[in-house]
């Protein structure tokens, strides 16, 4: 195993540039949170591959680039980003290189949208301080996470969604993060509060206008109150030169349900940490993921589903399609804490290698401290199944057509779980184009 060291000092200093220029918040607790994060970021190191959590993901190339704070506000027009916008979503927040772009956004109107709040954090922070305070920075801890600490150090703006009590929000909410600047470092932040009995669908979408190297370091926090339902679709279609690091922390109250599909297509190196905590009885989550990568891409997904209370249900299906000399990593921890009886959990990691140089490292990890639980997990790594190919050939399909169809199907099974038709269709096309061989 190659061990790489990253000189923490220079790199973090670069990333922390510009932080002191942030305006201070009218809220003392928020200023304090930020100050704590700055302190913490100063003491943490960029994880080397010696760190078990980063064993397969060498992020030293990140340190070789000199990242700049985001420059002047971009002059993008709606037409420039239109192609990324699912027609089903009327409410949209657009961030350009991490900076809120009010001209391109259509926030919610609380009066006509049944009290739904979808707006940028900085403009809403005072009005909704009571709702925000118990959640912002409370779910995504940064004590031992340098990237979450950095993001929190920069916490000034971001996306805020509050689905009010018992509101069933019909149309999906689109959060679009557009990268335009070379060597820019941005720190997107999202907070979604689903009040009790509410239901909301959110698309968190990272796109690039051109193939440039930049770094996105995102943190998303999602809090579901009793009986709330959140459908979270995450699409990472960053530039294949970019670095994408993201932490998402989800907390589920009693009988709430979190459903997510995350799709990783872009980035030179990406790392997605998803932590889902079933913090009260009867919570449920379905967490699915697809990484579709090629060339020299690396896509690393670390998930932790934490069953802290009884009668929790979790379902997870993670798939990777790896072509070229790309490398996919999946580490899926299922934690069942003492007392979390009657937990019902299943996890599968299935991986398809399309090239002899492609590589997958998958590590399902079950840590069970309760005795009355049902936990199933499995992992497979392989090529296409010979019987499946024969079946299709026996129906007249050529070898290549059969292989293309099966590869597509492998990815489409996850994409199919996306509830927004136009986005699903778009991503299916992407899978089709990227897996098709002649």
Closer to another protein by CB, 46 or 290: give it: 290
430 lines the binding site for another protein (CB under 8 A): no
436 lines the binding site for another protein (CB under 8 A): no
Q: Using the rule CB under 8 A, give the single segment among 14-22, 85-93, 261-269, 405-413 that binds another protein.
A: 405-413
Instruction: Give the residue from 354, 365, 362 showing the smallest Cα distance to 380.
Output: 362
352 lines the binding site for another protein (CB under 8 A): no
Distance in angstroms (rounded) separating the CA atoms of residues 189 and 132: 13
Q: How many CB atoms lie within 10 A of CB 426?
A: 17
Q: What is the DSSP string of 74-104?
A: P---HHHHGGGS-TT--EEEEEETTEE-GGG
Closer to another protein by CB, 112 or 386: give it: 386
Closer to another protein by CB, 112 or 438: give it: 438
Task: Kindly state the number of chain residues that form the binding site for another protein, as judged by CB under 8 A.
Answer: 26
Tokens for 270?
A: 């990406």
- Strand residue runs (E) in 81-214: 91-96, 99-100, 117-120, 159-163, 173-179, 185-186, 189-194, 199-208
Nearest approach in angstroms of CB 261 to another protein is: 13
What distance lies between CA 107 and its chain's CA centroid? Answer: 22
388 lines the binding site for another protein (CB under 8 A): yes
Among residues 64, 394, 433, 437, the one that binds another protein under rule CB under 8 A: 394
Among residues 39, 82, 144, 416, the one that binds another protein under rule CB under 8 A: 416
Tokens for 5?
A: 């060291």
Closer to another protein by CB, 110 or 428: give it: 428
> Residues 245-264: x/- map of binding to another protein (CB under 8 A)?
--------------------
For residue 75, give Cα distances in angstroms to 71, 97, 103, 182: 12, 12, 10, 16
Distance in angstroms (rounded) separating the CA atoms of residues 101 and 175: 11
Nearest approach in angstroms of CB 411 to another protein is: 7
393 lines the binding site for another protein (CB under 8 A): yes
Closer to another protein by CB, 27 or 392: give it: 392
Distance in angstroms (rounded) separating the CA atoms of residues 200 and 164: 10
Closer to another protein by CB, 307 or 350: give it: 350
Among residues 13, 87, 367, 399, the one that binds another protein under rule CB under 8 A: 399
Footprint of another protein (CB under 8 A):
385-388, 390-399, 401-402, 405-406, 408-413, 415-416
């Amino acid at each position: 195993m190659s061990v790489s060291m990253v000189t923490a000092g220079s790199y973090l200093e670069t990333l922390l540039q510009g932080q002191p220029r942030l305006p201070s918040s009218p809220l003392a607790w928020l200023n304090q949170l930020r100050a704590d994060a700055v302190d913490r970021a100063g003491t943490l190191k960029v994880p080397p591959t010696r760190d078990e959590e980063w064993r397969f993901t060498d992020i030293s190339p990140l340190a070789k680039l000199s990242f700049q704070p985001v420059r002047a506000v971009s002059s993008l027009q709606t037409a420039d980003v239109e192609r990324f916008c699912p027609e089903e979503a009327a409410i949209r927040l657009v961030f350009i290189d991490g900076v809120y772009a009010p001209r391109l956004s259509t926030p919610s109107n609380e009066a006509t949208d049944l009290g739904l709040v979808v707006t940028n954090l900085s403009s809403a922070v005072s009005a909704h301080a009571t709702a925000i305070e118990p959640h912002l920075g409370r779910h995504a801890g940064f004590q031992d996470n340098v990237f979450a600490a950095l993001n929190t150090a920069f916490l000034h703006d971001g996306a805020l969604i509050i689905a009010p009590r018992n509101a069933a929000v019909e149309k999906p909410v689109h959060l679009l993060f557009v990268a335009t600047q070379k060597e820019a470092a941005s720190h997107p932040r999202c907070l979604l509060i689903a009040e009790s009995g509410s239901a909301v669908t959110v698309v968190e979408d990272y796109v690039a206008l051109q193939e440039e190297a930049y770094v996105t370091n995102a943190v998303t926090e999602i809090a579901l109150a009793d009986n709330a339902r959140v459908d979270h679709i995450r699409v990472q279609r960053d530039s294949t030169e970019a670095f994408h690091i993201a932490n998402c922390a989800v907390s589920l109250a009693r009988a709430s349900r979190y459903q997510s599909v995350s799709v990783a297509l872009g980035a030179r190196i990406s790392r997605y940490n998803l932590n889902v905590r079933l913090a009260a009885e009867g919570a449920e989550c379905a967490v699915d993921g697809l990484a579709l990568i090629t060339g020299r891409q690396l896509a690393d997904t670390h998930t932790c589903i934490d069953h802290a209370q009884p009668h929790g249900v979790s379902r997870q299906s993670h798939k990777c399609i790896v072509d070229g000399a790309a490398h996919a990593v999946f580490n899926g921890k299922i934690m069942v804490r003492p007392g979390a009886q009657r937990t019902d959990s299943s996890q599968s990691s299935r991986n398809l290698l399309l090239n002899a140089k492609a590589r997958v490292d998958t590590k399902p990890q079950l840590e069970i401290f309760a005795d009355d639980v049902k936990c199933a997990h499995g992992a497979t790594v392989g090529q296409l199944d010979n019987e499946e190919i024969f079946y299709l050939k026996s129906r007249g399909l050529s070898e290549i057509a059969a292989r293309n169809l099966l590869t597509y199907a492998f990815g489409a099974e996850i994409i199919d779980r996306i509830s927004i038709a136009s986005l699903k269709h778009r991503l299916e096309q992407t899978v089709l184009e990227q897996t098709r061989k002649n």
